[in-house]
Amino acid sequence: MPVDQLRDSPMMAHLLDAMEGGEDVGHYGRLAFAMVGQHFLSEDELVGYLTKDPDCDVDKARSIVAQVKAHGYNPPKRERILEWMKQQEFPICETPDEKNSCNVYKELKFPPDVYQKIASY
């Protein structure tokens, strides 16, 4: 089950648990979730999880997913996640001070095209 694969990342498990618990994970938490989750979940599944956040209705969730897909966003690097965390109250990553935390590239296995895209930069 793809959502189980997402839980291999402590950051993604944290976001999933927070949304399932009805917490507002913030704009960047939702964006990070969509950028990573698009490689593991269907569009409807992504929208379903995002709408568990009280600040994200169906229209907003679909807009986030459409934006991520239209721009071809890769999952965010650790440095970007740490930057985003400074801009919102909700901690996207629970353990930002640990060396390899918040690094979805070390925690998850993405489709080959993701690695090809980041290698071309």
Model confidence at 14, in pLDDT bands (50, 70, 90)?
A: very high
pLDDT in tens, 48-96: 999 999 999 999 999 999 999 999 999 999 999 999 999 999 999 998 8
DSSP-derived secondary structure letter, 9: S
pLDDT of residue 78: 94
Contact 26, 105 (CB under 8 A): no
Answer whether 0.85 is exceeded by the pTM. yes
Q: Residues 6 or more apart from 10 whose CB is under 8 A from it?
A: 93, 94, 95, 101, 107
User: What is the mean pLDDT of the segment spanning 95-113?
Assistant: 88
